[in-house]
Chains A and B, each alone.
Chain A
Amino acid sequence: MSRYTAVADSDRAEMLARIGVDSIGELFADVPEGVRLGRPIDLPSGRSEQAVYAHLRELAARNVSVEDEVTFLGAGMYDVYSPALIEMLMERSEFLTPYTPYQPEVSQGGLQVMFEFQTAISELTALPVSNASVYEAPSAVAAAGYLAKLANKGSRFVVSRGVHPHSRQTLATLAKGYGIEVVEVPLKDGVTDPDLWKSSIRGGDVAAVFLQQPNFLGAVEDIAALSETEAVVTCACDPQTLGILRPPGEAGVDIAVGEGQSLGNRLDFGGPSFGFFAATEEHLRRMPGRIAGETRDVDGQRGFVLTLQTREQHIRRERATSNICTSQALNALAGVVYLAWLGRRGIVELGELLARRTAFARELLGRIEGVEALSEQPVVREFALTLPVRGPVEVDQVVAACRQQGVHPGYALGRDYPEFPDGLLVAITEQRTRGEIERLAQVLESALADFGGGKTR
């Protein structure tokens, strides 16, 4: 008997008597002999809470966390500051332990949080409808593809190589299931090649096109210019930059998605976080996932319910617009609380802070001999450099050398972008101070010196 169950021997005897059987074994009489395990589960015996804590702590201690080094790793998830109040709210039993709000009379807290979340995402993206979350950004991109598949008869998706590699891969995995071809358009000068893009998105066979803002290399794209097409335009956005960048809804985008980790969520080695999904009114009844709506109770009191459920799997089954059920409600709570904490001015101030520090960092690192910005496009939270080394193996060696000095300089681009074998992607967050950026410059310069380059010009 574990500490999480309360059925002691005396209870068991009484309960079995009431059921009218002599042993627990009789309750499993329907399990045929041929499929029985017939032995104990081959796992170690149960342990005390204290012992489990010690074991988990020992495992965790073998990892290098972002507290142990100064990190400039980004590429989709960022070492951001999350205020203490978010942790407190996420750990409240009332938010942590309920199921999906199927009984609205006792779920007003969660439902109102969803409504507020939808409003905040709608405001950030300047698109009228938002759902209450999907799993994470790449899944959100893939969900936008499926929506487009339901919305029109196109047979191709056109994707900029500026879209996160994980998003492109996830989209391709899912599109294979329902038989849509995915075509990629390369980058030119660090942004989506405008001429190739325009020629690729022409024609009625394009179901949807996919962009990212800022793109994976950190460059700010001219989304409005790239959105001139009849196909469904999807743009993955970094929500921390939406206080200063033109919102997708004002740039001709039909579906805005993105990664919510930077909105108050932990890194957690990649999840759980949340994805957001906002769209034009036209797509409301094709949206995936939960949507909370405002209504009244029988006394005329304001309240909230899950609405437009005829889109969903539990009602519509094989005709549902998505199979999603459990999503990321608790992480979306962190997201809306974070946005309320930042506030109307804070979202702008934070964006400006990031843009200024990012520009400063790109300029500073570009002074190291042999190091060059991958492009001169505007950047706001991340930027790509080319290092004076020969290929991805040496980039990895430079990264390792910097880490020896306690600084993680960023993400080596070569694995995902063979066209940028010497590329390094450097992310700036509000936690990266000027002093840390200067230290990165020193450490990178000295690491490069071992490869014969790296003197400051």
Chain B
Amino acid sequence: MKTIFERGGEGRRAFSPPPTEVPEVPIADLIPAAMRRRSGARLPEVSEPELVRHYVNLSKRNFDLDSGFYPLGSCTMKHNPRLHERVAALPGNSKLHPLQDPGSALGALELMWNLQGALAEIAGLPHVSLQPSAGSHGELAGLLLTRAYHEDRGDRRMKVLTPDTAHGTNPATVTMAGYEVVKVETSADGGVDLDDLRAKADEDVACLMLTNPNTLGLFDSNIEEIASIVHRVGATLYYDGANLNAVMGVTRPGDMGFDIVHFNLHKTFTQPHGGGGPGSGPIACSDRIEPYLMTPHLVRTEEGFGLDYDRPKSIGRLRGFQGNYGTFVRAYAYICSLGGDGLQDASETAVLNANYLKARLAEYSDDLPIAFDRVCAHEFCISGAPMKQNLGISTLDLAKRLLDFGFHPPTVYFPLLVEEALLVEPTETETKETLDAFADAIGEILREAAKDPEVARQAPHSTPVRRLDEAGAARNPVIRQRFEEEAR
């Protein structure tokens, strides 16, 4: 499809400027020549109808959660209630200036306070900061807090442990926070290898970052021992909350011994993902970490609520203003809708759905065996390696063929530990019929591949475009419109 820059024509416009109303002073009198723009920015010239049609037509080239099943592992693509958009759009939320006096935003601060309280209860950790903008931002906060905690005790540590199954954001964050990554191996049953952990946990370790259930969808039953090993050497234990949807109301990071946890409001608490954000990554922590939490910090005052900037041990500010407030409104509405019992039901149903789908897919275990086959949490991992061997189609082929059946594929080639991995997370908001249809589609693709693997190898066939040359795109990056004027 043409880009917006290839549409329209000279002189067309969608914007009609309001009248100036003040003297039309020449701009040259207001801004010295050295500071003025001479070359124009080549923005589009389109009318409003052209503009609307372009973007509406573009939207139709997206698959989306409102249209179909989206079992992306580790992404928790649960239904996004429209109520949340309505309440976020109320002028009393959407038209608040972030620097207005807290006394004129008491409803907003109370909402944030209530959300903090709910997150603290869900995490089993008493203190919350809503500031981080996404999960990986929360991770960064967690490691900077860890650093501040150790340094305050005169302790300089250099290493952070991450399991080899960790989300890529964990090791990337470790480096950004100025630490060195030390990988911990996975045991034969899919959990943390305790011997390896014991060998690597020493006084130079600042933190262990862990996801539980982990990215294989397995709850690590050794969590108490893990926490004890980590705490014995004085390190902190960090909970990557990407998989929190598996355990709400059953267990809590705080009860498992974690010191710091981040939440993904855009996963567990159903903030719509927007094609890659906005998200939100609030963190909760224990008493010993609390003095270092970011500024400003929401506090109760005589007036109701206020923002505390005077926190001498704080790591400081992690971003502008108070965080992604619009996502707080949606997450809070979600928590109000479900309540404590509903959140527990959400986790239980997510786990039920995952285990049911796993049981259905076990029908095809000759080609698609479950990696570490035992009861799973909210997601599970299968390997496409035998399928590749037996039928000659790869995990990528299977994923692309699923698109023709109207399903978004699971996460592919992650975790790295499992060959030809598919990570499947159905979430609690899908019906049994959808799970059955998905399992049936996989069966049909495998049967089809047994007859003619080319169908899957050439898939997808029914999408707006077919397989794209990603290697070529990276080799010769074209990352912006080239204008004809440049070619001349």
Chain B residues numbered 87-128 whose CB sits less than 8 Å from any CB in chain A = 87-101, 104-108, 110-111, 118, 121-122, 124
Closest chain A CB from B173 CB (angstroms): 4
Bound CA–CA A268/B316 (angstroms)? 22
Is the CB–CB distance between B338 and A222 below 8 Å? no
Residue contacts A-B, CB under 8 angstroms, 20 given: A20-B359, A57-B90, A95-B59, A104-B468, A109-B62, A110-B62, A135-B137, A164-B320, A173-B144, A174-B318, A176-B144, A268-B94, A292-B479, A295-B469, A325-B168, A327-B134, A327-B277, A329-B278, A340-B43, A344-B40
- 1/0 per residue B419-438: CB within 8 Å of A? 00000000011111000000
Is the CB–CB distance between A340 and B72 below 8 Å? no
Bound CA–CA A32/B374 (angstroms)? 16
Residue on B nearest A95 in the bound complex, by CB: B59
Residue from B40, B348, B349, B479 in contact with A293 in the complex, judged by beta carbons closer than 8 Å: B479
- 1/0 per residue A31-69: CB within 8 Å of B? 110111100111111110100110111111111111100
Is the CB–CB distance between A329 and B277 below 8 Å? yes
Given contacts A4-B78, A356-B20, contact A132 B375 (CB under 8 A): no
Residue among B178, B223, B278, B318 with the most chain A CB within 10 A? Answer: B278
Chain A residues numbered 267-319 whose CB sits less than 8 Å from any CB in chain B = 267-272, 274, 284, 290-299, 301-305, 307-310, 312-319
Residues of A within 8 A of B83 (CB): 49, 52-53
How many B residues, CB 8 Å from partner?
A: 206
Bound CA–CA A352/B64 (angstroms)? 40
Stretch at the interface among B193-201, B246-254, B441-449: B246-254
Is the CB–CB distance between B4 and A340 below 8 Å? yes
- 1/0 per residue B325-347: CB within 8 Å of A? 11101001101111111111110
- 1/0 per residue A165-199: CB within 8 Å of B? 01101101110111100000000000000000000
Query: CB of B364 within 8 A of chain A?
Result: no
Residue on A nearest B471 in the bound complex, by CB: A295
Residue from A18, A76, A133, A272 in contact with B327 in the complex, judged by beta carbons closer than 8 Å: A272
- 1/0 per residue B50-87: CB within 8 Å of A? 01100110111111111100101001011111010111
Bound CA–CA A290/B278 (angstroms)? 13
Residues of B within 8 A of A151 (CB): none
Residue on B nearest A271 in the bound complex, by CB: B324
For this complex, into which size category does the number of interface residues on chain A fall? Answer: 35 or more
Is the CB–CB distance between B135 and A325 below 8 Å? yes
Is the CB–CB distance between B333 and A7 below 8 Å? no
Given contacts A110-B275, A123-B42, contact A60 B91 (CB under 8 A): yes
Residues of A within 8 A of B374 (CB): 30
Which 10 residue pairs of A and B lie closest in terms of their CB atoms, listed nearest first? A60-B92, A270-B321, A330-B274, A270-B98, A62-B107, A272-B278, A329-B276, A41-B340, A46-B339, A93-B66
Is the CB–CB distance between B224 and A32 below 8 Å? yes
Stretch at the interface among A203-211, A240-248, A446-454: A240-248
Given contacts A59-B107, A293-B474, A341-B14, contact A99 B72 (CB under 8 A): yes
Residue on A nearest B273 in the bound complex, by CB: A99
Bound CA–CA A169/B43 (angstroms)? 33
Residues of B within 8 A of A93 (CB): 64-67
Is the CB–CB distance between B481 and A119 below 8 Å? yes
Is the CB–CB distance between A271 and B320 below 8 Å? yes
Is the CB–CB distance between B344 and A40 below 8 Å? yes
Query: CB of B259 within 8 A of chain A?
Result: no
Closest chain A CB from B195 CB (angstroms): 19
Given contacts A73-B97, A325-B135, contact A317 B321 (CB under 8 A): no
Chain B residues numbered 264-319 whose CB sits less than 8 Å from any CB in chain A = 264, 266, 272-280, 294-295, 309, 315-319
- 1/0 per residue A97-111: CB within 8 Å of B? 111111111111110
Query: CB of B403 within 8 A of chain A?
Result: yes
Query: CB of B187 within 8 A of chain A?
Result: no
Bound CA–CA A305/B475 (angstroms)? 13
Residue on A nearest B222 in the bound complex, by CB: A32
Is the CB–CB distance between B429 and A4 below 8 Å? yes
Residue on B nearest A20 in the bound complex, by CB: B359
Is the CB–CB distance between B250 and A36 below 8 Å? yes
